[in-house]
Each structure stands twice: as structure tokens, then as C-alpha cells.
Structure 1
Amino acid sequence: MAKHAVLLSGAKMWRSMACAKSELRLDLTLACGQSFRWRETADGHWTGVMGGRVWTLTQTDDTLWYRVYKKQDIGVEGSDRKRKAYVSLQTENESEKRFQGALKKEEEEPVAVTLVQDTHEEEEMLRDYFQLNVKLGDLYKEWGAADPHFKHIADIFTGVRMLRQDPTECLFSFICTSNNHISRIQGMVERLCQALGAPLCQLDQTSYYNFPSLSALADSSVEACLRDLGFGYRARFLQQSAKQILDTHGLEWLEGLRRVPYLQACDALRTLPGVGTKVADCVCLMSLDKAEAVPIDTHVWQIAKRDYNYASGNRQKSITDKLHRDIGDFFRKLWGPYAGWAQSVLFCADLKKFQKLKEVPHLKQPQEEEHGEGETSVVCKKTKMQREKDATVKNMKTKPASHKKAKLSA
């Protein structure tokens, strides 16, 4: 009800397109570690940068709602959860974002912005970004028919789909993921954009920046700048990879990898500093249209062993290129040409932040209880409320009895 009220209060500011939650769930898709540019800025409302623009997205059961912020004139938005949303845009002049020495940016002067009304281009951008041409419900049915474990998970984690990101943003974001976790990666990517990206706008006291260009990332001063910002050894990989792409291949090379076979694209990416097999697979899957790419990290390896009894006797402690390829082939044989999409559903379902979805009382969803490697049985866990109720009933039964016994003995 509250979300409907928000949409109605600012109806002229929102645009919409038909999209069922079974085809896309924003809360799962935008927070499962594919992109690091989105934040939940209000209940069920996600704000981030895509395609050089700042967006706010939300959804109802069968509709995806969106706003796009752009340079022009606006005062203060209407009542929106009683929050004022004054939006200011800082100048985008290229000369003002060039870095001097340690990439110290000049001050930009705020300019008012408004919401984009030309919706055709924005709707096409969203359709492309979320790959809405792919019928996710049909894929879920195929994967569920081939894999009982997936079918059980899919009943809870619907609408997890792959984003089609800008290849430059995807590559350099995932170079930051080495020995890292999602929340820390988000902070690093944000600092990267603040240091090297063009300013876009300020919304609710938060400034938004575009992702840096290859030219910005390749500058000789970048490594020192990023080390100062806490990137560690990754700072060198970021600068060197950008420089190698520009010096050896050119600006259009990354996007051109969309048109070559998966293994060729993967091998090409692995020639870059800081890009191993896992990062290459992530970039192939999430930005280069290689739906069969299955990124394998220790997390996915554990899923393969625990839930699929994969190589249960294997005592390897690290993921070699051969193991990566073998596990990928295992899942490709099981799930088919969109294996990377199916893997992302299981990866999402295994994240700690989403475990509460398995315990929603009114859904009565079963959870798996482990009984050893690769062997599971389905049980229904009691909710916290049920446990507290049981404890209360037990106390009511036991306390009077003990009180009576004490009184008689006296």
C-alpha cells in the first residue's frame, strides 16, 4: 500500500513498463554482486547509474517503474514519503574532470535538473540492461525440470536475471573483486567513480558520477591515486589493463568481444593484468553476451560439492584452471546454454543477506538441513515467533506445577 501511495504522489515523475516480478526482482538482481552501482535509497526504491544517467527504479507486482534525472530545470519534488528531493546537476565539461597530478578535480557549479520525459530511449535502455527479451520464466521451468535442487531454490528466488552491463564498467569493477566482498567492492567502485568519473548529479545529498573512461583509467597518475584510496595491489592492475587495451587494441575492442565466441573472448580478457579465469567469466557473462559462462569461485565450488556431490573425494584446496573448466562444463551440461544465468540464481540464494527469504512464515518454505557433503534432506524450520510461542506455552504448563510442589513441601 505504501509503495502505491508513493507512486501516486509523484505520478507525473514516474514512467512505467510492464514487467512481472517473476521476470525481474530488483531486490535480488541489483544486490547479488553483479553490479556495484545500485543502492536501496528508500523502501523498495533503487537508485544508481546506468548508461551515463542517474535512475531510480521500483516495482509493483506486474510493473517496473522508473525515473531518469537529466540536466534542465526543476524545483522541489512533491511529497514523496515526506522526503524532499532537490536534484542538482554539476557541469559535465570534460576539462573539469581531467586530473592534475593526484587527480584533484576542480569545483563544479551545480545546475538544476529535471526528470526525463522522452521515454522511448530510456525504456529501450532498461530492456537492454535487464535483457528483458529473455523469457526468464521459461528458463526457470527448463532448469527445474533438469535439476530438482534448482527447482526447490527457484520456488523462493524468482526473478534473478543477468544484467547486460557496459563492458568497461564490468571489467574494471570485477578487477576490484579479487580477495574482496560485495560491500567493500561497492565502496571501492564508488571511490573510483568519484576520483576519475564525470559528475552527473546530486540527489538527496548524494553525488553520482559516471564510470571512468578507458582514457581516464589509463593515465600514469592513476595507480598512485588509487593506492591512496585503498585499492592496494589492484590499483596497478586497473591502470595497466586500461593502458594495455588502449595501446594494443583500441577503444572499441572490449565491446567487439561481444561478437566473438565465448572461449575466444575469455582468452582475450585473460591477457590483461589482474584478469584471471573467474574475472574473465564474470565479464563474459555480465557484459559480453556469453550466457554459457559460469564463473567459479570458492563460493560456487562449495555449492557444487555440497548440493551436487561434485567430486566429493577431491581434496584440492585451490581452484585451478582445469577445475574451473570442469565445474563449468558440469553445469553447462546440466543447465544448457544459459548455464551462467542458472548459476547466478544459486549464488544469490546462498548469499547470507538473503537467507531470511527462506524463513518467511506465511510462505512455509522448506529449508535444507545438511547431513554430510552432497547429501541433504528437506525439513521445515520453526520461525522465531513459533519458537517463542512454544516456550511460552511450556512455561505456562511447568511454572504452576513447580509452584504447587514447593507450597506443599513447605
Structure 2
Amino acid sequence: MKHIWYKLPCKQNELQLLGTLNGGQSFRWKKICDEQKEQWLGVFFNKVWILQQENDHILYKVHETKLNELEDEMSYNNLLRSYFQLHVNIEKLYEEWSTADPYFKEAAKQFYGIRILKQDIVENIFSFICSSNNHITRISSMVEKLATFYGEEICEIDGEKYYAFPKVNLLAQQSVEEKLRTNGFGYRAKYISKTAQHIMDSGGEKWIDKLQTMSYEEAKKELMLLTGIGAKVADCICLMSLNHLHAIPVDTHIYQIAKRLYMPKLPDKKTVTEKIYNDIGDHFRDLYGPLAGWAHTVLFCADLKKFQGNNTENSSSGNLRKKSKSKK
């Protein structure tokens, strides 16, 4: 267990931890406080990280099993750079998007430094299955249960144990559905079990590797073969795990934003049809270009009530949009 503070050079306008970690992309981060300093504790790459935002850098600690300890600040920095995709110059992109869209320009004043996390594909698939008709607190609880039940223990901090996200083969066991049902997963228990079994039957790691080589259209189609994954969740996975940064997850919330601010002639619908879904996605892709999904995420964060001083519990990026109401 480490107690050393490392330092990742990174200015606040290049990375805002609040909007990035608390915007419904990943469900394994929680805000903690230490001596009135806001910190974020989360799990990725089989390690527990504690991050703290400073003006020109990110301070962080790493906790992991002794077996996997790298004990190398450069290696840790590289993992963080990859996770936050720091190779992408978002200051330049923000300028371009602000020029193209006055609504984005206004949102960017507060929601600077929002980044798309480069997440593990397996964790992302099962996390977003948990997001179905759900809110962030409950999704996070479900994801942690999956890790606790089937993942490997990483470490213990202040009496609390932390676990890596489980491998697919463990979620494909016959006993999984029943165990998850008895632990509050509801119909999602079947979705998780069936999806894990489908992935294993399709080749397991080979299927995952192949998915990473597919085009956006191919990957989205392949993901939608999984139980519990529709177009919106498939686009979330394409955007956050497969580097298809022009993928636009669209649901009723994004539909409301599009109709209110961008496409007033959209027909009034209670549900998003396939045509409306594609029309909205194409509109944002035309407006923002090849990283449209990234720009769309900034708009989404700007529309979240929790970032506007309202403490009402919100849903995930896959489902908050269903329950939020558009501003009048």
C-alpha cells in the first residue's frame, strides 16, 4: 500500500476532475475530502487511485497488490495520461467547437477540461448494462457488488477492501444470475449473465480483441447483439472504450436538448425513434466534426442539474437523460 504523493503535470483547463469523473462516464469514482481538499478515489487498471486537483498538476496516490506494484512514477503517469487521453489537445478543440456553436461556447466557461475517459471495455459493457433505468448511486453500488463478488482483491484502505472488476468468464458462470437477483440487480441480472455467456461463446478475449479492430458501424452492430444493449448504450461503449469519438449516445434527454437548442423542427415524440436518433447524431457530427462525441459530452455535463447547484440525485449518462426535464 502506497502513501507517496506523485505528481502528474496537467493544468486545470486541460483536465477538470469534477466534470470528468462525476459526469456518468465511470461509476467507480467517489469524492472524498482530506483537510478540506477535494479528492477523488477510484479504481482502474487493477489499482486504487486517489487524485487531487491542483492548479498546474494532479497529485495522486496509488494502492495496489504488492505482486503488481510498479513503484515507478513514470509508469503511473503514463497510465493516467492514457486514461484521461491527455494526448488530445482539448484547448484547441474547445476553441473550434466554441466558434462553431454559441451554446458550446457558453457551456465551456464552466465546463472546461472535460475529458472522455479511455475505459476498459469489459467493465464499460457491464457497467452500462447496470445503468438501464437507473441512477448513478445505484449503478455504482451494482458495479461495486460485481467487483466484490467476482473480482480480485486489490487492497484495503481504512478498513474497506477494494476489488478489480471481474473477468468475463467469471460473470459467465451459471450461478451468476441467481446471485445477482438476490442482491438487487433485478432483470439486469439476466442481462449480465447472458451477455457474459455470449462473449465467452463468441471467443472471449478474442472477441474483445476483434471488437477493438472494428469500424464504428461494425462495433456498434456487434455490441447490439449483446443482451440489454441498445443503440444508446452501444454508442456509450464505442465512445468511451473503443476510441470512436464521433459516437453520439442519444436518448430522450439529448433529444430534448437537440429540439430546444439545435433542431426545433424535430417531431414531438415521447420515445426516440431510429430516424430521430440518427438525425440528431448526424447533426452533432456535422457541427462538431470527428470528435463530436467528446463535444456532446461537454454539453451533457453542462445540462446536468447536479453541476448547477441542485443536489437532486441524477441518473447515468445512459439514463439521466431519460429522467431529466428540459429547461423551458
TM-score using structure 1 length: 0.72
8 A Cα contact 2:155 2:162, kept in partner: yes
The separation in 2 between residues aligned to 1:198 and 1:185, in whole angstroms, is: 20
Find the residue that maps to 1:259 and give its secondary structure: coil
The answer to which structure, 1 or 2, has the higher relative contact order (CA under 8 A, 6+ apart) is 2
Where 1:296 maps in the other structure, the secondary structure is coil
Picking from 228, 235, 241, the partner of 1:287 is: 241
Specify the alignment match of 1:45 in structure 2: 39
**Counterpart among 8, 18, 21 of residue 27 in structure 1:** 18
Which residue of 2 is the match for residue 69 of structure 1?
Answer: 63
8 Å Cα contact 1:196/1:217 also seen in 2: yes
AA matched with 1:28: G
Corresponding letter in the other structure for 2:135: H
* Residues 252, 270 of structure 2: 8 Å contact kept: no
Q: Does 1:212 align with 2:166?
A: yes
Preserved contact between residue 173 and residue 189 of structure 1 (Cα < 8 Å): yes
Task: Report percent identity of matched pairs.
Answer: 47
Q: Deviations over 1:233-263 (max 9, x none)?
A: 1111111111111112321322432222111
Match of 1:161 in 2: 115
d(CA) in 1 for partners of 2:216 and 2:103?
A: 27
Q: Which amino acid in structure 2 is aligned with residue 261 of structure 1?
A: S
Q: 1:203 aligns to what?
A: 157
Matches within 5 A, 1:81-96: none
Shift of 1:213: 0.5
- Residue of structure 2 equivalent to 1:246: 200
Does residue 233 (structure 1) correspond to residue 224 (structure 2)? The answer is: no
Higher Cα radius of gyration: 1
SS in structure 2 opposite 1:161?
A: coil
RMSD of aligned Cα (Å): 2.0
Matching residue of 1:385: none
Given candidates 6, 13, 24, the residue that maps to 2:4 is 13
| 1:327 and 2:321 matched | no
Pairwise mapping of residues 290-301 of structure 1 onto structure 2 (< 5 A)?
A: 290-301=244-255
The alpha carbon displacement at 1:12 in A equals: 7.5
Q: Is 1:181 the counterpart of 2:135 in the alignment?
A: yes
TM-score, normalization by structure 2 = 0.90
1:13 partner SS:
coil
Please say if residues 67 and 116 of structure 1, whose CA atoms lie closer than 8 Å, have aligned partners that are also in contact: no
2:303 pairs with one of 335, 342, 350? 350
Question: 1:15 & 1:142 partners in 2: Cα distance?
Answer: 33
Q: What is the rounded CA distance, in whole Å, between the counterparts of 1:17 and 1:253 in structure 2? A: 34
Cα 1:267–1:215 change in 2 (3 A) is same
Contact 2:3 2:61 in 1 (8 A): no
Q: In structure 2, what is the Cα distance between the partners aligned to 1:157 and 1:176?
A: 27
Unaligned runs of 5+ in 1: 1-10, 73-91, 93-112, 358-372, 377-410
1:13 Cα deviation after fit: 1.1
2:238–2:244 Cα contact (<8 Å) kept: yes
**Structure 1 54/350 Cα, relative in aligned 2: closer, same or farther at 3 Å?**
same
